[in-house]
Structure 1
């Protein structure tokens, strides 16, 4: 990969899109992870105003500190970068208290995690509407088009996706080229939706390197039957998540009424 040219291409793409959309800048949620760090840096390189929003919900302290270290670095290097913190912990707790109780708390854990992501999306669009900005997405290719590892209408609810054609390994290459904090580069990827240090690999059962391999094999037409041992296990994890999450990756189905029924 020609990293310099890829960076220039994305930055120019962002500039052109913002100019044609007649918007004033970008707003992006900063999580302390590598995807939001790279995306926010690319947005900042456009010269357009960039608002970084940090939105903790019972967040692990190391995630918050990494987020602010990155934001401070951005502000030192790009004068048009601003920051807002919206602590959504009480909002989340009050919303959960308003919902009816369930017999088994385990049954609603995934719903609670997704609710966090949707509260953050709502907050980002508040600031976007207030300032005339676009919400920049942070999903990479493996997450957005491989295993569907994002929340529908949560972190998947964005205006444009600058790094969604980059594999996770390629995002790391860009991060090093852009000078992203080594603490962020070295941190285990996590979606930060569980109030603990649970990593993406803990949830998925495979690393991003393994998932990239499986995604490439699937594009070659391979199936789980072509592999043995760990490769077969990884490919099966990939295939199952890809199938289960197709509804996130494809357009919303629309019931098309036959014309003769409407006349």
Structure 2
């Protein structure tokens, strides 16, 4: 089959209604026919991905069969809960707020994280200061892996950043991942109590590039958006009637105390550039053809493709199912 010429709008969904109907029918098939459950639970955060998952389910299985769970904690933006609640009300989806801060404090999530931060910045005060981890763009223009930086911001808004040592990076990430794993436990509590299934909210980039927590936000029964690029998620959001305030909101991790975009933390590229680049990478387009369309040299495109390949390879274990050892 001949590939279409590469273009910036190659990921424009030609028949959005047909796509939504297809995903909606699969939802009904999985929930009601295959597994004979009563409905679906979704964790809602006011972000675009969870909003689309909720809106899709409300449209195709009925809002009365969908249950939304908002799970704020100490570092969450107040906007996340309010946006999620307004959207749930718009679609008529029953919902509840479960503050997971006490559970995280029980796991010593914040204490373990701050302990590692203080080894890098001894004067860090977790009561007044904020922190975040970010990634530089070295890996995009050089044949080197990207470097992670730890940034702390004091109460006066002064910030300082340092390359974060591996030990401290791993501890901060491991501690922060309690958040996603607590949320997974909470949505499964409601799913089991109601005899529902859990809808995953991850999109294609999050799954393919490993931007999720194993057995955290990577724990769900199915993922309607698993093969949708981020810009396609936005197209579907618009069709389903997700509010403009959510569609126009900058995607953030909502994990660290300092505000941080997904591009800053992980992706390194804006979605309108990354989406067609990833499509070209996956579908065997030449670096020359992609570069001509994207305004880059073939060498620049090659480096970005190598960065994609490195991310995919180093996160294979996240996508791997548990291995059931065979008997001899």
If the length of structure 2 is used for normalisation, what is the TM-score?
Answer: 0.70
8 Å contact from structure 1 (residues 57, 195) kept in 2: no
If the length of structure 1 is used for normalisation, what is the TM-score?
Answer: 0.87
Bigger radius of gyration: 2
Counterpart-to-counterpart distance in 2, 1:50 and 1:232: 44
Residue in structure 1 matched with residue 78 of structure 2 by the alignment: 61
Residues 1-263 of structure 1 mapped to structure 2, 5 A cutoff: 1=13, 2-20=15-33, 21-45=35-59, 46-47=61-62, 49-58=65-74, 59-75=76-92, 81-96=93-108, 104-105=116-117, 106-107=168-169, 108-145=171-208, 147-204=209-266, 205-221=268-284, 227-229=298-300, 231-257=301-327, 259=328
**3-state SS of the aligned residue for 1:28?**
strand
Counterpart-to-counterpart distance in 2, 1:141 and 1:97: 28
Q: Count residues in correspondence.
A: 251
Cα pair distance change 1:102/1:200, threshold 3 Å: closer
Counterpart-to-counterpart distance in 2, 1:66 and 1:97: 25
Higher helix share: 1
RMSD: 2.4
Cα pair distance change 1:129/1:103, threshold 3 Å: closer
Counterpart-to-counterpart distance in 2, 1:139 and 1:155: 8
8 Å contact from structure 2 (residues 109, 175) kept in 1: no
Counterpart-to-counterpart distance in 2, 1:129 and 1:54: 17
8 Å contact from structure 1 (residues 190, 197) kept in 2: yes
Counterpart-to-counterpart distance in 2, 1:7 and 1:116: 31
8 Å contact from structure 2 (residues 112, 175) kept in 1: no
Larger deviation, residues 22-31 vs 57-66: 57-66
> Structure 1 unaligned runs (5+)?
76-80
